[in-house]
Each structure stands twice: as C-alpha cells, then as structure tokens.
Structure 1
C-alpha cells in the first residue's frame, strides 16, 4: 500500500507539532510526503499532478492544524481545484473510489474543550464532518482521524509520544 501524506500548514517552519509529525513519517517506506505550502507558495495548484498523485496512492492523509474550526485556506482551495466533476465525483467521476482517506489534525485546546459543554461546544467529530462528507461523496473510505490536542503548549516527551502515535495511526490496518 502506498500512502500520500499532504501537510497543509502555512507556517511549517514554526510549527513544532506538525514538523515533528512530518519528520516521523517522511522517511517511511511507501510514503510520499508533501509540504503543500512549500509546493505551492503562490497557490497555483497543478491539478493534473495532484490528480496523478492521488491515483498512484491507496491511502490519502491530510495533515493540518485546525484553523477556526476548519482547515487552512490552501487545503480548501486544493479541494475545490483538484476534486473535479467527472474525475472525483459525478458522471464517470470514480478516480478515487475504493481508496482510503484520513485527516490528522493538531488542535490548540485541551480535548475537553472539544465536546458538548466544552469551551468550543462541538466535538472534533462534529467539526470534521465536512471531510467525512467529502470522503463519502468521492467514494473513499473515511478512516478515523488522528487528533493531537493542546498543540501550542506541548512538552517534548508528550510531543514525541504524539508523533509516534501519529505514525502508528497512519499505518494502522496497513494492507
């Protein structure tokens, strides 16, 4: 199985968490790792290249920090430009059918904040519903997300453990 990990972080060099996670999977066999803001600093997405990469991989992972209860802007633009009618959905749009899809996010608050009654009022599962709906719409199997909480104030040992859990999560049920 080939895994495509796409990191959408506009300040990757400053991100302690996302850099640690990227480093943990970057050299894994069968992984194609891409820093999407580095790949597209001008946001001019090469649609054919992106579609070809998706077709060549079995598991697709979007790694990103939770931004205002959603994704960074380049990820939204990438979805709009790459997952086209006739290719990813609609008439003859079956290019991704049967592939696996997963999100891996870092969230700044404690886990307790992401639940009914918590300071954010909604669970991570609820906040990620648009990604699950997208997965369903394009015919991929939505795998459980990986979530790393309290990303802004993490001790080195907690970060190392989280990075290892991230790596294990990506390769869970690896065929």
Structure 2
C-alpha cells in the first residue's frame, strides 16, 4: 500500500523563492501527498495544535521542507515543533503517537557543498547542522531519513539545476511511499542525495 506523506512547508520570503516554491508545487502533484504551507495557514503564528496533531496521525511520512536560514530552519518550523510535539503525545510517558513514522528534511542551502565541511566556510557538514531534527525523531521514536538538499541554491536557476533536483525529490518521495527506500536502505548515507549519486555512478 502506498504510504501517505505530509509535507510541512515553511518559507517566509516566498516571492523570492526560485527553488522551494517550485518544489512544493511539484510535491503537491504526487498522489497521497498532503502539502501544507505553514506561513500561509498561520500568518500570526497561532498554530492549531489539535489540527496539526491529527494531520500527523493521518500520515506515515512527515516531510519538513524549508530553505536553510542561519544554519537552521525558519522560525515557523521551530514554533510548530514547540507547540505540536507535546509531552504525552509525541514523547514522554505514553507519548508514542508518532512511533515508527518517518521524518525527511528537504532543504536548500545557498552555499556549495564544500562550504559545509569541517575545513569549509561553515565548519560543519549540513547533516550535523540538522542534528536537532534527528534527535527530535529519536525522541519521538520515529525513523530519520537522510536529508535531501539542494546546495548552491543561489545559482541553481542560472545553472539549470532546479528541474533535475525536483525530479529526484519526486523520485525519492515515491520510492519511500512504495517501500522501495526506507531508513534501513538509506541509513548509511549522510544525505539522501548520495543515493542518487551512487546510483548514477553504477550506470
């Protein structure tokens, strides 16, 4: 059975988006994928906790999609986490409502990948900067899938890389939906991008 996917999208400057808005639109076209624009739905950050919890319960795979802002997510994602992932619901005593669901981060980074290295400009691999999401998944007994990232997003449009990225993103989501990829088969990759690079190298 095809699993249900919930995409929680957060971009506070959508009029400037060359990557995330087209990707969000493309994900919306996939069968059994529910897309939610959090900034549009909660412009005053007044999150409907019960509504969001019910969304989580109704889906198998939770995708957080956002551009990297100062080495993390936009503020809306943090607000959503703080309010929705309550003790007794997502974690803690009897808080196992999200157990065995999967979490995937889809993000874009302005700099190229070599900037996200120990000796690079940003000092840390991007996977390390996203560790709070990985620990969130662990605490909530969820399966954390390697992040899927578009590096060099500032020049992706000029370099005609966006369509290829979107195609891979859709392929990734559909493979996870159908059970062809999961936390076990993807677990040894630092990023889900590495799966595609390995597959292309083997052709």
**TM-score (ref. length: structure 2):** 0.84
> What is the CA-CA distance between 1:145 and the residue it aligns to?
0.8
What is the deviation of 1:155? 2.9
SS of corresponding position for 1:139: coil
The number of residues matched between the two structures is: 175
Query: What is the CA–CA distance in structure 2 between the aligned matches of 1:139 and 1:149, rounded to whole Å?
Result: 29
Whether 1:71 aligns to 2:73 is yes
Aligned counterpart, 1:80: 82
Whole-Å Cα distance in 2 between the matches of residues 90 and 56 of structure 1? 21
Partner Cα separation in structure 2 for residue 78 and residue 15 of structure 1 = 21
CA distance in 2, matches of 1:172, 1:120: 32
Which of the residues 54, 57, 60 maps onto 1:58? 60
1:29 matched to which residue of 2? 31
Unaligned runs of 5+ in 2: 179-203
Question: Where does 1:97-108 land on structure 2 (aligned, <5 Å)?
Answer: 97-108=99-110
Q: Structure 1 CA distance, aligned partners of 2:52 and 2:83?
A: 10
Residues 7-156 of structure 1 mapped to structure 2, 5 A cutoff: 7-155=9-157
The Cα of 1:40 is off from its aligned counterpart by: 0.5
Report deviation, 1:43.
0.5
1:4 aligned partner: 6
Q: How far apart are residue 171 of structure 1 and its match?
A: 2.5
Distance in 2, Cα, partners of 1:165 & 1:88: 30
Q: TM-score, normalised by structure 1?
A: 0.97
RMSD: 1.0
Alpha-carbon shift at residue 127 of structure 1 (Å): 0.5
Q: Deviations over 1:105-163 (max 9, x none)?
A: 10000011001111111001110111000000001100111000111121362111111
Is the counterpart of residue 163 in structure 1 residue 166 in structure 2?
yes
- Aligned with 1:172: secondary structure? helix
- After superposing on structure 2, the runs of 4+ consecutive aligned residues of structure 1 that deviate more than 4 Å are none
